Amino acid sequence: MAHNYPIMESKVHASRSPKATQGACPRQFASAARLFSKTGFAAIRSTRVGVIGLGGVGSWAAEALARSGVAAITLVDMDHIAESNLNRQVQALHSTLGVAKGDALRDRILDIAPDCGVCVVDNFLTAENASSILPQSDFWIDATDDLSAKRSMILWMRDQRRLSDLVVSGGAGGKTDPTRVSLMDLAEAAHDPLLSSLRYDLRKNYAFPRRGKMKLQVVSTNQPMQRSDDCDPAARLACAGYGSLVTVTAVMGLIAVSAVLSRITR
């Protein structure tokens, strides 16, 4: 299952390499392992999964990967924890204010799963560095709110014929009902301005199909956006413009991880 890509060392802070995943299942993952075949769980243990964007969606995705037994995780972000992150990001605590998001999340993951090989890439993904960052993992969860980063990820994965190894998160800002979050094709997303802009861009400029499925998995919600009286839709961050709830962002991250685990064990 694993592609065995080399790990880029520039701007990277890596924990020690994960111990061999052969043999008996660690006791802490025994409950998760019972839900998969022996071969399937071995695949989970031997696959590296990356998360790009460690905010309200990505941070919960990263923790879920670690708790599910994924033994190698790549974390990509160069932002630092701010007080405004406390309402929705799993690594955001008063004790971690000002700490790099990737470093704080790595420390949390290693406290959950000390043998996990965590690689932190202290950078934002761009068109220029996509070909250096994306080969590092077998599967990726895109949890960014930046259209350019999403486009760069998707185009690189398409060029490598690996679109099925990517799960893209939509916008969580302005959403309050986690029961309406689901996994779907990008063509089916509704009431999601971020994914709507992405879909338009890919169809108009990059030859993605205008009809039918686009063969790109996304996590989104069809709930119409809720705007507060002081909402500024022009704000760069979707959550900053519309407000956000951990009950929605966390569910989006968990559904993304569920999609990846399903793909790994298929």
Domain range for 90 is 32-264
| Residue of 35, 24, 12, 44 whose CA lies nearest to 122 | 12
What is the rounded CA–CA span in Å between residue 264 and residue 247?
Answer: 26
**Each residue of 207-237: pLDDT tens digit?**
999 999 999 999 999 999 987 766 665 555 4
Is residue 160 domain-resident? yes
Is residue 7 domain-resident? no
When divided into structural domains, the chain yields a total of: 1
pLDDT at residue 151, as a whole number: 98
Establish how many alpha carbons lie within 13 A of residue 200's alpha carbon, considering only the half-sphere containing its beta carbon. 8
Is residue 89 domain-resident? yes
Is residue 8 domain-resident? no
Is residue 14 domain-resident? no
Which of the four pLDDT bands, split at 50, 70 and 90, describes residue 70?
very high
Is residue 13 domain-resident? no
Is residue 5 domain-resident? no
pLDDT at residue 5, as a whole number: 39
Is residue 1 domain-resident? no
CATH of residue 91: 3.40.50.720
